[in-house]
Every structure is written in structure tokens, then in C-alpha cells.
Structure 1
Amino acid sequence: MDQTFVKDLLVRGVIGISDRERQQPQDILINLVFFTDISQAAISDDIQDCANYRDISKRVFALAETANTYTVEALCARIAALCLAEPNVKGVRVRVEKPGAVRFSRSVGCEIERFNP
């Protein structure tokens, strides 16, 4: 299976369980890997035959910016569902991180893989 990816999409949104985390947006770092078949796109050179990472990234950005989730797990699952709704995406790996959320760590987060049946 071929892969197309989006690396380090930085979004500001409300995510977390404490009152402090719920009061103002914080950085959310998102990485996506789309499992797809690029055979037709490589021949046609047509965006319609691709997993359109630009359009998907815009939708993921809007979702993460407004989701107001309590957990990275919930946001991760919502992003995966959004990506799997795309016609050329057969599967997706989603990684959601909260940089600086835990003292003395660079980042914490969740990573999942989901596939269409």
C-alpha cells in the first residue's frame, strides 16, 4: 500500500481536562499518513486520482481548531473518521500531540491506524 503524508500540521485548539486547558487554545501537532494506491494518479497526473492532502489538511485543521475535546484520543479518532471518508483513502495513521503538556517532556499524544472495511 502506498502512503501520502502530512507532517507536523500545527493547530491551536482547546483540548484537555483541566480548567486551565479549557480556558484558551493551545498547540496541537498533527501528523497524517494516508494509505492509498497511487498507481492511477502516477499515470494520469490528476489530483482527482490522489488522496488530496491539501483539502484533507484544511478539513483536519478546521476540525481540530473547533473540536474542543477533552482527550487526544477523541480528537485522534475524529480525525481518522474524517480522513477515511475521502474516496482515495483506504486507511490512515493519525498522530495527535500536545507539545509541552507534561513537564520535562517534549510532547504527549496518541497515534492510531484505521482502515476502511
Structure 2
Amino acid sequence: MDKIFIRDLVARGIIGVNDSEREKSQEILINITLLVDLRAAGESDCLDDSVSYRTIAKRALAHAESAARFTVEALAADLAKLCLEDPRVQRVIVRVEKPGAVRFSRSVGVEIERTREDFA
């Protein structure tokens, strides 16, 4: 399966369960891999035959910055569902990280893999 990827998309939003995490926006690092059949786009050289990574990135960023989720798990699920709204996306891998959330670590987070059937 072919892949379209978005690496290290940085959002600023509310995420976390502690009062201090709910008061001001913090950095959220997002990585998305879309599993898509890209043969038609490769032949036609036409964006209409592919999935626009720019559109997906803009939607993911807007959601992450406005959702105010308590857990990275919930935000990752939201973003997976958002990506799968495009019928050409067959599977998605979403990684959501909170840089600096745990002392002595660069970041912590989750990575999930979903299909449309997971949200049926």
C-alpha cells in the first residue's frame, strides 16, 4: 500500500488532565501516515487523483488547536477519524506527542492505527 505522510506537524492547544495543562496552550506534535492507492495519481500527475496532504494537515491542525481533549489517545482517535473521512484513505496511522510532558524525556504520546471500520 502506498503512503502519504505528514511529519512533525506542530499544533498549540489544550491537552491534559491537570489544571495547569488546561490553563494555557501547549505544544502538540502530530505525525500522520495515510495508506492510499496512489497509482492513478502517479499516472495522471493530477492532485484530484490523490489525497491532499495540505488539506489533511490544515484540518488536523485546526482540530488539535480547538478540541481541548484530556488525553492524547482521544485526540489521536479524533484525527484518525478526520483522515478517514476521505474515502480514498484506506488506513491511517496517527501519532500524537506531548513534548516535555515527562521530566527527562523529549516527549510522550501514543500511536494508533485505524480503518474506517473501526469507527462504524
TM-score range, shorter chain: over 0.9
- Give the aligned CA root-mean-square deviation in angstroms: 0.7
Kindly indicate whether the alpha-carbon contact (under 8 Å) linking 1:49 and 1:88 is maintained by their aligned counterparts in 2: no
Q: Deviations over 1:17-51 (max 9, x none)?
A: 00000000000000000000000000111111111
> What is the aligned partner in structure 1 of residue 103 from structure 2?
103
Q: Deviations over 1:40-83 (max 9, x none)?
A: 00011111111110001000000000000000000000000000
Provide the identity percentage: 55
Q: TM-score scaled to structure 2, two decimals?
A: 0.95
Q: TM-score scaled to structure 1, two decimals?
A: 0.98
Question: Equivalent residues in 2 for 1:53-64 (5 A)?
Answer: 53-64=53-64
Secondary structure of 1:101 counterpart: coil
> What is the aligned partner in structure 1 of residue 32 from structure 2?
32
Note the residue ranges of structure 2 that are not aligned, 5 or more in a row: none
Kindly indicate whether the alpha-carbon contact (under 8 Å) linking 1:27 and 1:99 is maintained by their aligned counterparts in 2: yes
In 2, the alpha carbon distance for the partners of 1:55 and 1:84 equals 13
How many residue pairs were aligned? 117
In 1, the alpha carbon distance for the partners of 2:89 and 2:101 equals 31
Q: Point out 4+ residue stretches in structure 1 off by more than 6 angstroms.
A: none
> What is the aligned partner in structure 2 of residue 76 from structure 1?
76
Note the residue ranges of structure 1 that are not aligned, 5 or more in a row: none
